[in-house]
Amino acid sequence: MVSLRRARTVPLAFAAVLAISLPMPATAREPTAAVSLGDSFTSGQAGRWLGNSSDSFGSRSGTDRACQPTLFGCNYDTGRVYLDGSRPPGCARSDVAEILSASIPLQERINIACSGATTPDIFRASNGGQTSKGQPPQADRLARIARERRVKLIVLSIGGNDIGFANVATACALAYVTRAGPCAKRERPGIDAKLPAAMRGVAKAIGEIRAVMRSAGYRPWHYRLVLQSYPAPFPRAAENRYPEAGLQRSTVGGCPFYDSDSNFARDVVPLALDENLKSVAFAAGAQFLSLRDAFQGREVCSRSSRLVSNASPPSPVTSEWARAIGTGPILQGQTIEEEAHPNAYGQRALGRCLTLLFSRATGSWSCKNTPASGTNGMLLTRVSSFPRAFRMTLKVSPRRVVAGRRTCFRFRVLSAGQPVEGVTVALAGKRARTGGPGRARACVRLRARRYRARAGRPGFSSVSVIVTARR
């Protein structure tokens, strides 16, 4: 834990009955899907906004996506942004949520994340899960999706609410506007004390997801599970365009923090979450996506970004990627829940990170933006080779044959004792593909020498077995 302080043979008849009774994943006729679970950072909270503006009227200089222009100004309809009746204070599932912004070659992208979620909101109801905002536990919803679709990707963002980070940010902002002194030293022990339990909850959440998928007939290689960390919404003190003294951070910028608290919120807490979540992901065999530096230079009040105005319209290159906090944004119609969350630009940037990750079947990665580029300028950097490719074993029968005689070979491919389908097995130019039981068959006439039967499938380490043909 990283702290803030630093077989037996089965009769054939019985086997057939068992095979029929076991649950099976959705067939090839069902649509492929990606599913996002977790809290407000994946649900798309604050997706209503395109940058931040000090304009409280109309479209707020073009930043308010809920604005429907009329002859008399704007009719604000948050249902245009937050889908299926999820507008705040509901689950806040926006139309630009990370999973919906990602360009991945799957037929459906389904967002069941919910604002305010903690780890028990992920667990199955039968295993301690809880209902939140009228929504059933997310693992139970995933179970139905997994039966009706071919789930290929699951993205999880959870743990931030378990350590109470939103409450800490509120306390630090209040300390700044009331001039009560920096809050980091007061808040740090509380977060540090909550981290171990929070990470146990994250580990259990991953276990619940695995259990649901297993019950639906999926094997570990049928889908990818990604655990991601959190982007920092506020800059370091040295990178803030407003001075600590005065009122600009609270009345103009929307980043009301002392310098030391800014550094605490930018580096200390995100780093602790990042390192702990990475450890949980590795222990659970999940891919890890680090997002803590994804908004570098695009944070609220960053010197590299600016407020939106009539002279500086919304832009993913110059505008901020997270929602400001304070009375100004609230007067614009923002709900408190939207504060300090990725806005529409931020969500699109995270979606780009997910797009890039989808093409990396192994390893764990960090996603960062490119200076002076928009949301498509995100780049991945490998942070670890874990998780590695799945290992498989290849069994070939027979392995010794008479040269010149046509022989039919039987292949069996397993991984951790489970059959692997879709594996291409090649022997002397002949190819066969394993089916659901992990079996394949090929008939070939071999010359007198040694051959290698090779088995391969994306996401797996290749394996080979020697076959010998003698006269």
Residues 445 and 331 in one domain: no
pLDDT at 26: 62
Q: 313 lies in a domain?
A: yes
* Cβ–Cβ < 8 Å for 156, 225: yes
Domain of 417: which CATH number? Answer: 2.60.40.10
> pLDDT tens per residue, the chain (471 residues)?
555 544 333 333 333 333 334 455 666 679 999 999 999 999 999 999 999 999 999 999 999 999 999 988 899 999 999 999 999 999 999 999 999 999 999 999 999 999 999 999 999 999 999 999 999 999 999 999 999 999 999 999 999 999 999 999 999 999 999 999 999 999 999 999 999 999 999 999 999 999 999 999 999 999 999 999 999 999 999 999 999 999 999 999 999 999 999 999 999 999 999 999 999 999 999 999 999 999 999 999 999 999 999 999 999 999 999 999 987 887 787 778 899 999 999 999 999 999 999 999 899 999 999 998 999 999 999 999 999 999 999 999 999 999 999 999 999 999 999 999 999 999 999 999 999 999 999 999 999 999 999 999 999 999 999 999 999
Tokens linked to 54: 């000090």
pTM: 0.90
> In sequence order, what DSSP letters do the residues of 117-157 get, joined into one string?
--GGGTS-GGGT---BTTBPPHHHHHHHHHHHSEEEEEEEE
Query: What is the structure's pLDDT at 359?
Result: 95
In this structure, what CATH number is given to the domain that contains residue 295? 3.40.50.1110
Which helix (H) or strand (E) is 417 found in, with range?
Answer: none
Q: Are residues 299 and 410 in the same domain?
A: no
Q: Do 412 and 361 share a structural domain? A: no
Domain range enclosing 105: 12-384
Q: What is the count of structural domains for the chain?
A: 2
Domain annotation covers residue 5: no
Inter-residue contact 266 to 232 (CB < 8 Å): yes
Backbone φ and ψ of 165, nearest 5°? -65, -35
Residue 119's pLDDT is 98
Same domain, 57 and 111: yes
- Same-domain pairing of 331 and 401: no
Same domain, 361 and 415: no
Rounded to an integer, what is the distance from CA 375 to the centroid of its chain? Answer: 17
Domain boundary among 356, 384, 412: 384
| Domain end point (choices 330, 350, 384) | 384
DSSP 375: G
Q: 112-144 burial, b for 16+ CB within 10 Å, e for fewer?
A: bbbbbbbbbbbbbeeeebeebeebbbbbbbbbe
Same domain, 224 and 313: yes
Residue 7 lies in a domain: no
Q: Does residue 288 form part of some domain?
A: yes
The DSSP bridge partners found for residue 236 are none
Residues 211 and 279 in one domain: yes
Q: Do 152 and 212 sit in the same domain of this protein?
A: yes
Would you say residue 299 lies in a domain?
Answer: yes
